[in-house]
Chain A
Amino acid sequence: MSDAQTMTLEEREATLGGVGTARKRKEDVRFIQGAGNYVDDVKLPGMVFGDFVRSPYAHARIKSINAEAALAVPGVKAVLTAADLKPLNLHYMPTLAGDVQAVLAEEKVLFQNQEVAFVVADDRYIASDAAELVEVDYEELPPIVDAFKAMDEGAICLREDIQGKTEGAHGLRKHDNHIFEWEIGDLEGADKALADAEVTVKELITYQRVHPSPLETCASIASMDKIKGELTVYGTFQAPHVVRTVASLLSGIPEHKIRVIAPDIGGGFGNKVGVYPGYVCSIVASIVLGIPVKWVEDRIENLSATAFARDYHMTGELAATKDGKITGLKCHVLADHGAFDACADPTKWPAGFFNICTGSYDIPVAHVSVDGVYTNKAPGGVAYRCSFRVTEAAYMIERMIDVLAQKLEMDPAELRLKNFVQPAQFPYNSALGWEYDSGDYPTAMNQMMQAVDYAGLRKEQAEQRDKVARGESRSLMGIGVAFFTEIVGAGPSRNCDILGVAMFDSCEIRVHPTGSAIARLGTKSQGQAHETTYAQILATEIGIPSEDIGIEEGDTDTAPYGLGTYGSRSTPVAGAAAARVGRKIRAKAQKIAAHLLEVAEGDLEWEIDRFKVKGLPEKEATMKEIAWAAYNNLPEGMEPGLEAVDYYDPPNMTYPFGAYLCVIDIDIDTGESAIRRFYALDDCGTRINPMVIEGQVHGGLTEAFGIAMGQEIAYDELGNVQGASLMDYFLPTAVETPIWETDFTVTPSPHHPIGAKGVGESPNVGGVPAFSNAVIDAFSHLGVKHMPMPHTAWRVWKQCQELGLTK
């Protein structure tokens, strides 16, 4: 008898390591030993290196570029400028948002550190030395730094390449510096709700420009084999298949002759969705030179030139009754997109899914409009650990709820409870057009309030406020509540595509004769533990232990086409494909089992890792046996092998939610905030791996903490980017990071094959308003309605000073 036959059910479940198991992260074995394989670890024979000449100015006309001195440096292979790219029509590249972005600046530079020339040399040192020798003659122009001034009458036109064009990718352009206006909802209804309301509130809420700042910066290696006509590109790509398609469309090289490989990626958080000039220049240089060209950006380049996030100026308005029932929402957003609209959203969504901004509340009528404008700042607008513009939406509504609560003199938790979409209302159609799949908000909120003793905290806060008033303490206590609803898992082909490619995803599996398997997916992990969790989904479906299922992603020659990993879409989309591909395998396995056991298919039942004959429990066929039989003992007429592929077009998005609470203590004299407690309850539906979920929540909360308390890509009045280094840009270390308490409820998604919703981004979406609300709540009794993020010590101190609290 084999081990498999003597094991108890529990032992077999444990061996399986399927859905619900806190399986250790398989990929960590190599990551924590320094044995990962990142782009910069890839070294190809004969490889040379590229480095950029970048603009020192935010806005200037390029009068001339002289590369003679650079080209004279021994070891320099080439210096590319826009003049070299223009004949190839590659001096501009299309963006995901329907705009174009300069690969190398042609006539003008539009943001500081914009790419002007690309120097290729035998090593990075020579490339950097030579880049310093490229002489660029600039004529400085006045920059537009303040988005609110971009559309002023007489404002200088930034984008001369589209000057006078009144029609953009998303409709009418009202000004040369206007990109689009996007509108949704019932304007008349929302205006009427506000006009008729017993109580209204209005607040300008700015979500500052930040940067995803993954530890690994962006990088690529292009290798053109001129004999075979084949291009291989290694890169930091969250969506390698889309990169292949775009590379083919841009270069004219047939898609089957392009291989894109995303090896291990050291964090993405949205930074690695877009296509950057460095990728294009390394490809062009390799095509020109016929040798591999590597480009790796440094930290300053990463922070200052690639893919910022947010920069949304949101004016929210709520209408409500005196007793706190919200009757309408209106929001206008001024969106600062920088010099090019390189926002990474599904093509038809210029402001992403910002219209999730009714949040967790049953708001009968709402209207949103978004104006996108150009400024002299770096392009981007990526979804930094969130679904497209969802964290902006959540921040706006969760702040506005607190502003309303203050006006109503009502507890913010109570106001939320009063306005929640109720469990019986699901599937819930929001006023701005989404169909929320499932949720139980009151249960989650009440569980949170009990876990933290919410009433006790408020009592303590009142006592602490008295102490401060009596001069017995110099510490203010703030309690931040946030209840978020996300929209993730883009997305259904009816409304989501990237440059025309529907946002499905895929899984392909081969079960080997000895009962192990390899599965490949169209997504790409950047640290999310796909190798661990996809194997668990498959294990549960096909009865092969997760340890025996290899997972591969990121090589377009081997993996099925997929749209990549961002917007928490891996589990909702590719995870669904994995479940469905497993079901295809199991269906074939059932036929083989019936053949092996000489019974009808319908006489079989599934149990963990095998089929059993109903009523005859000793008659069984394990998946190991079935896998072997698939290659040598099949029912007549059945094709050998045990393989399947599934492309999954989700019927709907998924809507994870959660209840967060933050307790903060503020030192009045320095403005420093100490996070005393942070509790996070997440409902992501079916939980595939509780340990991975907890890790995701810890990471997302740490980023949310960074954003709310310190991160900002700021510019001075000349458009000089401030503090683009990790000295100034706040990445919390273990010392600053608070202790996280995590909790959960489980409300499965009704449409996802295993009911899972995605979790990686929830803590960023819910965390930011929880921190911000806590800081502002500390001052709410003094009449403070809003304070701008990031809540750095000096800004908080300034608030204390304005209130006359400082000495």
Chain B
Amino acid sequence: MFLISFLGTIGRVFLGFLGATGRLGIFMGAAVSHVFRPPFYPRLLLQQMISIGYFSLPVVGLTALFTGMALALQIFEGSARFNAEGTVAYIVAIGMTRELAPVLGGLMVAGRVGAAMAAELGTMRVTEQIDALTTLSTNPFKYLIAPRLIAGTLMVPFLVLVGDIIGIFGGFTMAVQALDFNAGTYIKNTFDILTNLDIISGLVKAAAFGFIVTLMGCFHGFNSRGGAQGVGAATTNAVVSSSILILSANLIVTQLFFSN
């Protein structure tokens, strides 16, 4: 009996997972198809771009700054064990652009933007504002979701590019001010090692993360049920699911770019 109920539990969890994946897939298909079909709402798109891009700058900038500084310090201490302190500039540059700025920036945006979207759309759902849109001849996918998806996919790469620069600058500051590196050599090393691929792969990741964050924020908010508690759950689910998806998408994109 124990075995049957145990297998039953596994089955239910698995079916629930398949169901959720299917619902998300249908939602994503509908959302993306509405991105390309008129009417478009440029005013709302601009509003979302400012809200996602401009207002996330402090969060992403500070994250990149502290990460770049800590990374420089760690690499310096670590590489000193085999007299390779000269690698600090290389590792900070590659580490920030390829990995740390996109991933940490994406996670910060998930916390800031994804949560806000889920809460906003969730409240609109439970107060029937989304139904009201429909009765006013306005498609909620076009009016609410398309501008958010486009803004997220465009603006997170912009944020990450800024994060790249600030992160490398953070490493530079730490190296020159605290670790007695020569400023000119550090800058030269940074530019020598960086290739277009390092930066572009990071920006591609960022676009994928921006899409994930806004999609999950919209999906959970749009489908939230049952008042304040439902909106709370939607917010939590949006942040948790987009964080997990960011980390797994990061692995996939990294493999696509850099394996062999």
Determine if chain A interacts with chain B: no
Which B residues fall within an 8 A CB radius of A? none
